[in-house]
Amino acid sequence: MSKIMSIETSDVRFPTSLELDGSDAVNVDPDYSAAYVRIIAEDGEAGYALVFTGGRGNEIVVKAIESYGQLIVGEELDDLVGDLGAAAKQLVHDSQLRWLGPEKGVSHMAAGAIINALWDVAARREGKPLWRYLADLTPEQVVAAIDFTHISDALTPDEALEILRRGEQGKAERIAELEQNGFRAYTTSPGWLGYTDEKMLRLTREAVADGFELIKLKVGGSLEDDIRRFELVRAEVGPDFPVAIDANQRWDVEDAIAWLEPLKRFEPFWIEEATSTDDVLGHATIRKAIAPMRVATGEAVQSRIIFKQLLQAQAIDVMQIDSVRVAGVNENLGNILLAAKFGVPVCPHAGGVGLCELVQHFSFFDYAAVAGTQDDRYIEFVDHLHEHFAEPVVVTGGRYRAPQQPGNGAEMLPDSVATWTFPDGPGWQELERRGLRAATRTAR
Ligand SMILES: [Mg+2]
């Protein structure tokens, strides 16, 4: 037995805005950042997690993680890890902190970070990567981890159990296949709005040559640009190659429908975040108006309850879970089972800092233990900042290769954390000396 001794946090930021990596119609100058946390027990055992942000405000998430961390300092780590369903509920439904949400925004992401760090401990103790740890749980153990509060009208524990019991069939073979062949990736690398046409086309050619079977373009800056860019990419990849588009919540409902009309002829594989992430009925209206174009969303969907409504309202064709937007592994297990119940494929959101490292585990688990198919399923991949992680993702031949190291993938290299801690890390100090820090617009 060992008590949790401390919660250590770091405000880690990378000056990505200098290159316009990650630029889209709404996020025009992100400095990809991680609110990074290590929970440390008296005997030295540690668990890692992070929350991704776009730069400014990262310190707010760090503070919120510290507040949630205080709820478990001094508690027995074994008790928390022994019942992760109860641990997650204790954090998410804290009688005072819940006022800041409930179950949305900074507080929800912060609770999720602590919860994810506990799952990291659990997986490390078994010597397994998180996906494998989850896939090896019994259906009863998975159901016990899920909070069915406010979703039981769409998915009951018994229904979840039934889906997971069906998933037991052939699970061992699918795990072996994942170890062998991994899981299909798609790439957003060519599509950032800040890139020139030349850079976009070069990266498109590289993506196809690298084996990706789906690429994604950002849209929503200017319609004229979107048509030109899509035309150029279609000419490059041909009429049948899947190309998705992503508006990052840029439009009102009527704008979305009007904007998408002239893009229909390019046959986008899906339209992602056509409008506000909270607008369930708006997504349903857009989906109806632009059929058969498929509608995707989820990277900023704040909870299983919004996902439930998107599914109930037949508003989405693709569910894009994010690893750190909701309250950790528990809530994403619920999201994956909701998707399975409604027959909607899960294509996780990734990119940023560490999101690829983290979210791959959910698709691997989904294939092994829930959906049992990879049809229509892809994990987003963006080739940024992986070198800062203890186990960087491996994507070859257009596929994520199965993570092997124990844990959830969030552990960063101590050197990277130190160098890019904002604002006093040597990386930021160097930018200051070169007069570049103001250019990132992250300086406070
Ligand atoms: Mg997106």
Catalytic residues: 218, 349
pLDDT computed for residue 189 by the predictor = 86
Q: Do 180 and 312 belong to one domain?
A: yes
Which residue segment(s) compose the domain that 263 sits in? 165-400
Cβ partners under 8 Å of residue 379, min gap 6: 183, 184, 185, 186, 347, 348, 350, 356, 359, 360, 363, 400
Q: Do 174 and 44 belong to one domain?
A: no
Is 135 part of any domain?
A: no
Residue in 43, 47, 33, 41 with CA at minimum distance from that of residue 116:
47
Q: Do 54 and 97 belong to one domain?
A: yes
Distance 271 CA to ligand 1 centre (A): 10
Is 154 part of any domain?
A: no
Is-contact 81 115, C-beta < 8 A? Answer: no
Q: Do 179 and 107 belong to one domain?
A: no
Distance 274 CA to ligand 1 centre (A): 10
* Domain at 270, CATH number: 3.20.20.120
Is 409 part of any domain?
A: no
Q: Do 208 and 270 belong to one domain?
A: yes
Report residue 334: phi and psi, to 5°: -60, -45
* Domain at 51, CATH number: 3.30.390.10
Q: Do 52 and 80 belong to one domain?
A: yes
Is 242 part of any domain?
A: yes
pLDDT computed for residue 193 by the predictor = 84
3-state SS assignment for residue 399:
strand
Q: Do 380 and 427 belong to one domain?
A: no
Q: Do 85 and 228 belong to one domain?
A: no
Distance 197 CA to ligand 1 centre (A): 20
Is 240 part of any domain?
A: yes
Q: Do 308 and 424 belong to one domain?
A: no
pLDDT computed for residue 27 by the predictor = 67
Hey, what's the torsion of the CAs at 321, 325, 331, 335, to 10 degrees? -20
Distance 248 CA to ligand 1 centre (A): 6
Q: Do 174 and 303 belong to one domain?
A: yes
Domain count, the chain: 2
Distance 123 CA to ligand 1 centre (A): 29
Q: Do 175 and 305 belong to one domain?
A: yes
Q: Do 419 and 395 belong to one domain?
A: no
pLDDT computed for residue 191 by the predictor = 87
Give per-10-residue mean pLDDT for the chain (444 aa). Answer: 96 87 68 97 97 96 98 98 98 97 98 98 98 98 98 98 98 98 95 90 97 96 96 97 97 98 98 98 98 98 98 98 98 98 98 97 98 97 95 98 98 98 95 78 56
3-state SS assignment for residue 195:
coil
